[in-house]
Structure 1
């Protein structure tokens, strides 16, 4: 029996936006399983502000306008208290306009680092300056990689991230090729056959989900993986599995979170996750973990401020609030959570953590 009441006033409803289709769809099971763990942990305690929390998933893999229209309709009921999610920045921009600062919106995905987010949007994912750029500098320093090609999906996150990368490189000649393609394109042959790619030491992959896995397979099939590295800020164990072990040679990933089997907290979290979902559960990955952390961050922020009101939350963040979550203490710079950065290399279907980069 629940320790909470049974009326709508006794619950806090969280709308979780995650792609159920398209290239990002391969991460949805991990995100759903991880967020369920967070909900159970919180409800086994005191809930949020003494109220039970519930989550409803909606499909963030559709066109941004479609997602925003559904969010707007659900917000109009007055029964949604917060938004979370792992989805593209194009969807985030549409949803944030539909939300209009009515409820807190905890965006748990790596992003492009824009400074003009609407009120209520809290960026919990990685900023290029804290993740991608330090990873590139690490590879330059440690492996002597300095000539780059960029392949990205054609929307705001890859394009703005690519701009930040260009500006960070020591000389314009360090970027030898740059191309953007729609989400879900099946064939990367034009990019892989471009003569300019031969001049690159490495490829920066600004693709989403299954597109990364598909690119890795086609890249490896050309034989380039033996002489050119790849780096992505948007890949997890699901991407490694979808690509297959043979596609992951010389593939590096920058992320704020990798499961470290030698870390007691990570081992304990994985154990709780599998006790809840079983041994054949989707992998607990960086993307799923950000969804998990988003719900715990919402609890910490509301317990600290005593409120779900957006202006109250922003005032606390502006005052330097520190949030206690299972992943440690988190602070903010503006609306951006300050996160650690790590670089890892694919070892078959898992990651070997190499270094902390920020």
Structure 2
């Protein structure tokens, strides 16, 4: 029997936004399954502040305004206590306008960075920003492979464009980025980028595409024969992307992330995941893991603040920017979570962890 009595007064309801269609739809099942593990772990104990945690998933693969309108309608019921999700920054920018100051909103995706002016009340970033992820990965590749000149291919929305801007600022030499192209979501044909003669000037490609777009690009890139000479680096790749592209499309592909299932501290989490869902569950990946960690981070915030009220959580994090989680202490810089990052190389449809960056 559940330790909770089902009384609405004893329930915290969370809205989780994850793509169920479009290029990011390949991540939806694994994100939802990972969140189920977090719910099992939390609710098998004392819940959050003694209350049962429940999650409702909504489709984050739709137009940002449509997603935000649904969130607003759910918030209007007065029965939603927090919002989490793995989705694009374009969706986030729409949703944060309706959650601002009302409920905590934990954005569990890599992002372009958060400043005081771009931080609506209650928004917390659980993923990584360029300073803690793609930039140290580029430095490692420069030192290890002398990769200095980069072409950039990304989807045309805020995260790829702002990440590319951070790369340009870090390299500080326009000649080191001979080619930069942004394409619509759900692009099927990348010949315009792959046939551009400026691509020959690059030592590697920074891939800032999403989901199925990354997989399609990797297949087409490999068919050109470039994968033997040019490295690729992308923070937007997990095991789902590797599997969708196929083993042969992932040679010389490097991925920075705070989590890999074969990491020395992460195997136990994978074992718990399979005990709950069985051996044929969607893959637990670096992306679905951030969804899992967002739920536990919310619990840690609530325990620290003694509440899920936005003002009290923000004040608590400001006073004590470290919270306890099942995997250890999680630090914050402002309202952005900071964790160690690893660089891995794709080996077929798995990852080989190379180094901490």
The TM-score range, normalised by the shorter chain, is: over 0.9
Contact 1:124 1:290 in 2 (8 A): yes
Per-residue deviation, 1:81: 0.3
Matches within 5 A, 1:250-265: 250-260=252-262, 263=264, 265=265
1: CA distance between counterparts of 2:346 and 2:308?
40
User: TM-score, normalising length from structure 1?
Assistant: 0.98
Per-residue deviation, 1:239: 0.5
1:289 aligns with 2:289: yes
Out of 135, 157, 178, the residue aligned to residue 159 of structure 2 is: 157
In the alignment, what sits opposite 1:345?
Answer: 345
2: CA distance between counterparts of 1:125 and 1:327?
16
Per-residue CA deviation, residues 3-57 of structure 1 (Å, 9 max, x unaligned), is 1012211110010000000111101111000000000100000000101000000
In the alignment, what sits opposite 2:84?
Answer: 84
Per-residue CA deviation, residues 197-225 of structure 1 (Å, 9 max, x unaligned), is 01111000011111111100000011010
Contact 2:107 2:127 in 1 (8 A): yes
2: CA distance between counterparts of 1:41 and 1:15?
18
Per-residue CA deviation, residues 291-336 of structure 1 (Å, 9 max, x unaligned), is 0000001111101111011011111111133111123211111111
Per-residue deviation, 1:138: 0.7
1:129 aligns with 2:134: no
Per-residue deviation, 1:339: 1.5
In the alignment, what sits opposite 1:229?
Answer: 231
Contact 1:152 1:207 in 2 (8 A): yes
Report the 3-state secondary structure (helix = DSSP H, G, I; strand = E; otherwise coil) of the residue aligned with 2:329.
strand
Report the 3-state secondary structure (helix = DSSP H, G, I; strand = E; otherwise coil) of the residue aligned with 2:36.
helix
1: CA distance between counterparts of 2:346 and 2:267?
20
Report the 3-state secondary structure (helix = DSSP H, G, I; strand = E; otherwise coil) of the residue aligned with 2:270.
helix
Matches within 5 A, 1:192-207: 192-207=194-209
2: CA distance between counterparts of 1:314 and 1:224?
48
In the alignment, what sits opposite 2:119?
Answer: 117
Contact 1:320 1:331 in 2 (8 A): no
Count of aligned pairs between the two proteins: 355
Q: Which runs of 4+ in 1 moved over 4 A?
A: none
Contact 1:293 1:326 in 2 (8 A): no
Contact 2:321 2:333 in 1 (8 A): no
User: TM-score, normalising length from structure 2?
Assistant: 0.98
- Comparing 114-123 with 242-251, which one deviates more in the overlay? 114-123
- Comparing 12-21 with 2-11, which one deviates more in the overlay? 2-11
1:306 aligns with 2:315: no
2: CA distance between counterparts of 1:338 and 1:317?
13
Matches within 5 A, 1:261-280: 263=264, 265-280=265-280
1: CA distance between counterparts of 2:28 and 2:221?
25
In the alignment, what sits opposite 1:219?
Answer: 221
Per-residue CA deviation, residues 58-114 of structure 1 (Å, 9 max, x unaligned), is 000000000000000000000000000000000001000011220000110000003
Contact 2:114 2:336 in 1 (8 A): no
In the alignment, what sits opposite 2:40?
Answer: 40
1: CA distance between counterparts of 2:82 and 2:195?
46
2: CA distance between counterparts of 1:40 and 1:292?
11
1: CA distance between counterparts of 2:168 and 2:254?
19
In the alignment, what sits opposite 2:94?
Answer: 94
Report the 3-state secondary structure (helix = DSSP H, G, I; strand = E; otherwise coil) of the residue aligned with 2:266.
helix
Per-residue deviation, 1:170: 4.5
2: CA distance between counterparts of 1:44 and 1:149?
48
2: CA distance between counterparts of 1:328 and 1:240?
29
In the alignment, what sits opposite 1:183?
Answer: 185
1: CA distance between counterparts of 2:251 and 2:6?
52
Report the 3-state secondary structure (helix = DSSP H, G, I; strand = E; otherwise coil) of the residue aligned with 2:351.
strand
Q: Which consecutive residues of structure 2, in runs of 5 or more, have no partner in the other structure?
A: none
In the alignment, what sits opposite 2:17?
Answer: 17
Report the 3-state secondary structure (helix = DSSP H, G, I; strand = E; otherwise coil) of the residue aligned with 2:192.
helix
Contact 2:331 2:338 in 1 (8 A): yes
Per-residue CA deviation, residues 127-165 of structure 1 (Å, 9 max, x unaligned), is 100000000011011110001100000000000110000
